[in-house]
Structure 1
Amino acid sequence: MLSPTEPAPVRKSIPQVDFDLDDLDADEEKYLDFYRKVGVREDMLVPLAEHHTPSGAHSYYVLFDRTATWGHPGVPQVLAVHLQRDCEKRTFDFDQAAMPLAAMAQSWLVNRGCPHDAIDLDPELGPPPADEATRALEQRLAGDSDRYALGYSYTRDDPDDMVTVVALRALDERAPSPFRVLVDEVDNDAWTHTLREGGFATNKAALQWCDDRLTGEAKPLPPVRWAGAARSSAGVAKTPATRPPGRSR
């Protein structure tokens, strides 16, 4: 992901997002809602991926929010936005969600009608995957949004330790690994990132691993237990809550 304050590794100029709402009408409440949740930081949102339907009725955005680094510690830095336009009535509606990982923002948009193969990330606007394991896990995350609920995340953008930890809960209580942890780490020297997952039997154990990683005490992630040969995919069901590292539960 882009560094909030140091875009130097990016190989091209930072593009600006265009929501294309100038000629549309909406009631005052809708405009104010969009402004408060999205528009107020428009000039600080970097479009990592976007897709527009041919009719212009729908637009899907994966946005990197450069303002998040100045907000509450640990908040997600990726914003997913779905715009719906009624071209006949010249009105619009929208939905948005902050997500800790770009693949989760993709998943959220796919669940709202965006074609999976139409919302690929711009490879020049962030560190690319370091290995095939990262690519494969990101593909699973982006393509499936109905198996896991997102319960906790923490994003650290310290250049010496750029890491995001995410705890997920299986919606199917019978899942062999009912809790998952994702950890995304950026190598600033190589300008790549790795994404890994682990499986846990309890929520407490998953959150403890996240805290341990943020305090530099984490053990290797335990393997995910799969149900037979069928591999479940982690996805996004709701917006995460953040908690500073080390905070008591």
Structure 2
Amino acid sequence: MPLPEPDFRLDDFEAADERTEDTFWHAIGTEQDLLTALAVHHSPDGSHSFYVLHNGAVTWGIPGEPQLVALHLQRDLVAGTCRFEHAELPLPAMAQSWLIHRGCPPGAIGLVPGRGTAPADETTRALERRLMGDGDQFALLHSYTRDDPDDMSTVVVLRALDERSPAPFRVLHEEVDTDAGTHTLREGGFATAAEAVQWCDDHLGGEAAPLPPVRLTDRSTRPLGTVPAIPVRHPPGRSR
């Protein structure tokens, strides 16, 4: 049985202005019947709603594009109007982090059981907690999501916003075991963006070496987090 479309609770509200209405329609409304809510939280007074959504329409688009949408709805209960902001992100923990840093309580945006895969081990759980916990330390440079049922994986390149970081570029690698219904998430550190992207390309081509460890000094042990930046869709030399 197909899952119901997400309830955005907008029946008694209208967009705050024409631009908001047009943007919401193009970003969310046109593909609403293919969106699945993986996590939802509504503020007690109904003025804010937070969603982690999977966009099934992306599987028919450009290969590798992020399939998750983080959506924050803001309602003016007096005026009866609404605004929104959203981000397209490759990993659930990154979408959760984005929402948490826009006011969603951290404990309220857990994934609905049975929608998506479960962490396969404690390493994965710990890294996902770190991703959720601090959303202002890294920028998203590049990602590729491969949704082949026989080889489902996602690679992500992040850049440290602190120029003093001894591990300025990170790669996150999520691999899904569809038979077990689980996934693993691992992290590696790189000195340059080119090296990080090259590892991703090698992995997607079946030639990657193990991820190198992230080496941190005492002054740079703050938890890993993510902030969306402009994605690098086609790095130099990359082929699809």
After superposition, the Cα gap between the structure-2 partners of 1:246 and 1:134, relative to the gap in structure 1 and judged at 3 Å, is farther
Corresponding residue of 2:234: 243
Q: CA deviation at 1:226?
A: 1.6
In structure 2, stretches of 5+ residues that fail to align are: none
Q: CA deviation at 1:231?
A: 2.9
Corresponding residue of 1:158: 148
In structure 1, stretches of 5+ residues that fail to align are: 1-11
Corresponding residue of 1:209: 199
Corresponding position: 1:99 with 2:89: yes
Q: Distance in 2 between matches of 1:115 and 1:229?
A: 28
Q: CA deviation at 1:160?
A: 1.5
User: AA paired with 1:18?
Assistant: D
- Equivalent pair of 2:72/2:84 in contact (CA under 8 Å): yes
- Equivalent pair of 2:68/2:91 in contact (CA under 8 Å): yes
User: AA paired with 1:69?
Assistant: T
Q: Distance in 1 between matches of 2:188 and 2:214?
A: 5
Corresponding residue of 1:7: none
Q: CA deviation at 1:43?
A: 1.2
Aligned match of 2:124 in 117, 131, 134? Answer: 134
Corresponding residue of 2:41: 51
User: AA paired with 1:114?
Assistant: C
Q: CA deviation at 1:244?
A: 8.2
CA distances 1:176-230 after superposition (whole Å, capped 9, x unpaired)? 1110000000011212100000001111111110000000000000000122286
Runs of 4+ aligned structure 1 residues displaced above 6 Å come to none
Q: TM-score, normalised by structure 1?
A: 0.91
SS in 2 for 1:89: coil
Aligned match of 2:12 in 20, 23, 35? Answer: 23
Q: How many residues are matched? A: 237
Aligned match of 1:219 in 209, 212, 235? Answer: 209
SS in 2 for 1:242: coil
Corresponding position: 1:199 with 2:192: no
Q: TM-score, normalised by structure 2?
A: 0.94
RMSD, aligned α-carbons = 1.7
Q: Distance in 2 between matches of 1:53 and 1:163?
A: 33
Taking only the aligned residue pairs, the percentage that are identical comes to: 59
